[in-house]
Amino acid sequence: MHHPDGLSATHEMYLKVLYRLQRENDLGRVRDLARGLGVTAGTVSAVLKKLEKSGLVMHDHYGAVKLTSTGLLIAECIVRRFETIKSFLTDVLGLDAETAEVDACEMEHSVSPITVNRFERLAQLVKSGVLDLKAVRRDLPVIHEEVCSECEASGVCQAVSAWDVQHGTGAKKN
Cα–Cα distance measured from residue 78 to residue 76, given in angstroms and rounded to the nearest whole number: 5
pLDDT tens per residue, range 104-130: 999 998 888 899 999 999 989 888 888
- Predicted confidence band of residue 3 (pLDDT cuts 50, 70, 90): very low
Cα–Cα distance measured from residue 174 to residue 155, given in angstroms and rounded to the nearest whole number: 8
What domains appear along the chain, each with residue ranges and CATH number?
9-74 (1.10.10.10), 141-174 (no CATH)
Mean pLDDT across the chain, nearest whole number? 83
Cα–Cα distance measured from residue 42 to residue 44, given in angstroms and rounded to the nearest whole number: 5
pLDDT tens per residue, range 131-156: 877 766 666 655 555 556 666 677 67
| pTM for this entry | 0.75
Cα–Cα distance measured from residue 122 to residue 142, given in angstroms and rounded to the nearest whole number: 22
Residue 2 in this model has a pLDDT that exceeds 50 = no
- Predicted confidence band of residue 165 (pLDDT cuts 50, 70, 90): confident
